[in-house]
A and B are shown apart, each in its own frame.
Chain A
Amino acid sequence: MLNYLARRLVLAVITIWAITVVTFIILQLPPGDFVDAYVAQASAVGTAISAAEADALRHAYGLDQPLIIQYFKWLSHILQGDFGQSFEYGRPVTEVIGDRLWLTVVLSLGAIMVTWGLALPIGIYSAVRQYSIGDYIFTFIGFIGLALPNFLLALIVMYLGLRLFNVSVGGLFSSSFALAPWSWAKLWDLMEHLPVPMLILAMAGTAQLVRIMRANLLDELRRPYVVTARARGLPERRVIMKYPVRAALNPFASTVGYLLPFTVSGSVIISVVLSLPTVGPILLHSLISQDELLSSTIILMLGVLTVLGTLLSDLLLMWIDPRIRMGALK
């Protein structure tokens, strides 16, 4: 068991190193660098920046060094816990992300809870009462949820909110609270703003999970052990919850790995559309403006979280599924 864990940890470290290499390479792929993007933006507002000036900026920000040197400089800084300064924000990268991190986590965790809270019971219901009216209704709504792009839903909800209820659109705070220090009133304001983005974020995920849960459970329900349990006179509730549901949960455990990165940058597009102060929009924006230290830090963070999440889901699987536990020990 320990041996297994150690092997997984070593593999994780190697994977993370590989992620740093890939991250760095990917960010170099688009034409130009931050200075080019900056020159383009400056010229859009009528500022001419000469080629010599652009080179001076490149020099000041170390962008004129060979890639391999830039990479090792970046890596060594990271190992010392220094993620550098964002070009565009002119602040330490950790601060730029940190400002938004906890709101992002709150929002995403909320969305995950809503997703699971809705999807699991509905999935179980749909499987157990297959082809009932309820199953058909949920299936119908589920397919709409799957087919409707989230950003479209977000736009429609915002527009209707404005037209019908004249409510503030987008963001997580009313403008009167945006600057105010934290207070109960501000917290309540946040609470009022959270449900809509949370539900929209949860929508597609819920529909998907309902379908997976339903299909898995249907597979299990036809197994002989279920028939045996019923024949032995076990109460119906116990028959379903104790055995087939547990087995059907396997795929959930194995996708826990993706939930960790999701909590940090759940949905970039929805966050942009709803103008939420989360990490998603800064990732998108830093990629467009080629703010490399900022985007690489976020991507690296997502990579590390994915690796950790996968590790976690392996352990979780071992815990809930004896077959995997035994296999690993062998």
Chain B
Amino acid sequence: MTEISRRGVLAAIAASPVAMAWFTEQVRAADLAASGLVGEVQGPTMITDPAQWPKKFQEAPMLAELVKAGKLPPVEQRIPAEPMVWKPLDQIGTYGGTWRRAFTGPGDVENGNRINSSDKCFFWSADGSKIVPCVAKAYELSDDGKTYTLHLRKGMKWSDGAPFTADDFVFWFEDLYSNKEIVPTPIPDMTPGGKPGRVVKVDETTVRFDFDVPYYLFEDMMAGDTNIGGGQSVRQSQKLSFGAYSPGHYLKQFMPKYSSLDEVNARAKKEGFENWIQMLHFKKDWSLNTDLPTLGPWKTVKTINTPIWLLERNPYYYAVDTEGNQLPYLDHVQMTLGEDLEVINLRAMAGEYDEQERHMDLSKLPVILDNQTKGNYKVHLDLGFAGSDFLLQVNQSYKADPEMRKWLTNADFRRALSLGIDRDQLNETFWLGVGTPGSAAPGESRPESPGPEWRKKWSVLDIKQANELLDKIGLTKKDSAGFRVRTDNGERLRVQIIAVQAFLPYPKLSEMVADQWQKIGIQADVRELERNLAMTRVRNNEHHIYIWNNAGTELLYLFARHAIPVDPTEAYMGPDYATYYASGGKQGTKPDDENILKIWDLFSSAAGLKVDGRNKNAQEIWKINVDQQYGIGTVGQSPAGLGVRLVSNKLGNIAAQVCNAQHCRTPGNSHPETWYFKA
């Protein structure tokens, strides 16, 4: 309870008339682009032509000292023969300095994962549209789509100096992924059409992924923030065991296969773990184990479970700038624990962080802007691609109450609910007017977008049409207060909305929607629940409408769960249906809705299609989706999630706008290793 009122207080301060008036003047009166807050999407340029690569290399002073003392081999021997070469955004940087930042505790491992995300095999161009090399330098997909070949950089090394080769992929596949005690069920990423794929070493720098069915989608999988392609930091921390490669030379000592079960269990006991699996989960977590070899620009030197999570440059990092300076420029990343988001926001305004986008609160934008000069920082707004930061997902497999089921699964009922929402009011109140109102479909710049006409389809305020639709489907009777009543017992029809506190104040937004629905005679009860309890309700198929966002669905095949019911994790649109789809019909319930079956068909066949075919299928899915309103979109393509970026004026090579999306690992694909402190 205190949580809510506390946030309320600061929101009230933020919304004080003076600050608000100032804000209106600065932003809302002018258009967003003219405000200077939303710039051009930029990033460093990757130089892929070896003829333009530097021939001589330099290193950071702190590493030069280690070389002098004989503790580190010279820089030429540490950088791969085929390095990743960056032309920084503005200019060649200078070495040194600590990037100060905030994190919220051991659960906030994504904070560092994203900074370190150039340990992915492939990544995305600055605008998030094209796959570009990263850890791997190239890939080929066979014509039949069944073989994916990956080429590593010659001479690349782990952060401890050991060679990084195809063996590290084979180790991951055979010893981590295929060990049922660690990964009990195969991941969908590796099992197209339900048939398990294989990882094969061709030579030291060539790895092959073999599949039994065409799997053209795998190129996106390897570049996306997926289980297979996410990289070591994110996919092997937090007790996960995915990510395509793993430092075998280091981890073998903790596995029974390479000694004996007794030996590793005894070692685990000695180090304070119950068994070897617990020990392994700890040892392969880069945020907890400072000895773990990694590939990213920085490695952990003070662990995440202390008040300061400190990262230090990886002396073997595989990227250089065009003049041959080994990256990163910044020596350290220092993340300081903030127990509370309000404190983190206040500290950011006091200029205590050099770059911070995570945990910044859009609703505080007026005060954040107000303190720009005093805190010596500049604010950038990075707009997302996702259609809706506040999405009402309607449970299609609901069955606890037959009358409610009848309406929740009725397309006209859902359309009426959507037409009854005043998106402009929501946008003005909770997004300060910087969002785009409309349907759940991804932004028009995305290749999977169904087209601009689908932004407004069933997704504008139209009380008259909404009432007509509700009358048409038979919800004509109303009670004395003007609310429509059930057709079975004449009591008021009550739609339940489950909202948890996350990202945006979902419960408050839901209350506003409930208020707006009075005009169409629909009573909505907003239930604010603690997250675990809410998830239990969903697993039991007890919810009517669940609130979340659809960030990530702009790449539909990589993260579909908030667009269509296919993934039993967080299956807000129908847990029974998603289970049916994921289990191949062995569990769950088969939908009686033709449109869902059609969506499934388009979705599952897309993995075997080339990129144009996949995009076409995605557009079709979005058209059905918007027409059917399974997920009622409200306001999106905004900076609400990770999009309010405060950057110290001392930092150089900073992009005006960065790709703000899950697959871009914001701020990862703006390549923080190219940032530096201006003298």
Contacts and interface: CB of A to CB of B under 8 A. Distances in A.
Instruction: Answer yes or no: do A and B interact.
Output: yes
Interface of A: 30-32, 36-53, 55-57, 60-62, 85-86, 88-92, 96, 99, 149, 151-152, 155, 158-159, 162, 166-171, 175, 178-179, 269, 271-277, 281, 285, 288-290
A88 B107 contact: yes
B483 interface: no
B342 A43 contact: no
Given A32-B536, A90-B288, A151-B2, A44 B305 contact: no
Interface stretch (B182-190, B447-455, B594-602): B182-190
A85 B352 contact: no
19 contacts: A37-B531, A46-B559, A53-B183, A62-B274, A90-B288, A149-B2, A166-B350, A166-B374, A167-B350, A168-B350, A170-B338, A175-B100, A179-B302, A273-B342, A273-B343, A275-B338, A275-B339, A277-B337, A285-B107
B532 A91 contact: no
Contacts of A269: 2
Given A60-B277, A169-B343, A155 B349 contact: no
Contacts of A162: 346, 349-350, 371
B89 interface: no
A148 to B, nearest CB: 12
Interface residues of B, number: 70
B272 A274 contact: no
Contact of A61 (B272, B278, B338, B342): B278
Given A41-B107, A90-B305, A273-B6, A30 B346 contact: no
A277 B352 CA distance: 18
B274 A46 contact: no
Contacts of A168: 347, 350, 352
Contacts of B57: none
B496 interface: no
A91 B302 CA distance: 13
A97 to B, nearest CB: 12
A276 B352 contact: no
A272 B337 CA distance: 11
Contacts of A276: 339
Given A48-B569, A61-B278, A155-B9, A273 B340 contact: yes
B246 interface: no
A273 B187 CA distance: 41
A159 B13 contact: yes
B532 A53 contact: no
Given A90-B282, A175-B336, A273-B342, A56 B184 contact: yes
A73 B561 CA distance: 39
A22 to B, nearest CB: 21
Q: Which 4 A-B pairs rank lowest in CB-CB distance, beginning with the nearest? A: A170-B343, A89-B305, A275-B343, A52-B184
A151 B662 CA distance: 35
A286 to B, nearest CB: 10
Contacts of A159: 10, 13, 346
Contacts of A55: 184
B39 interface: no
Nearest to B235: A47
A205 B289 CA distance: 43
Interface stretch (B249-257, B292-300, B306-314): B306-314
Most buried by A among B6, B183, B334, B338: B6
B167 interface: no
Contacts of A42: 238, 240
Contacts of A99: 306-307
A50 B282 CA distance: 20
B569 A152 contact: no
A36 B502 CA distance: 17
B106 A89 contact: yes
Contact of B227 (A47, A57, A60): A47
A169 B350 contact: yes
A36 B532 contact: yes
A85 to B, nearest CB: 6
Interface string B481-494: 00000000000000
B532 A272 contact: no
B181 A56 contact: yes
A175 B352 contact: yes
B340 A275 contact: yes
Given A170-B343, A179-B308, A179-B334, A32 B532 contact: yes
A257 to B, nearest CB: 26
Nearest to B280: A60
Interface in B492-514: 502
A290 B239 contact: no
Contacts of B282: 90
A2 B183 CA distance: 61
Nearest to B113: A45
Contact of B185 (A50, A60, A88, A151): A50
Contacts of A61: 274, 278
Contact of A281 (B227, B339, B350): B339
Contacts of B569: 39, 43, 48-50
Contact of A169 (B100, B310, B346, B570): B346
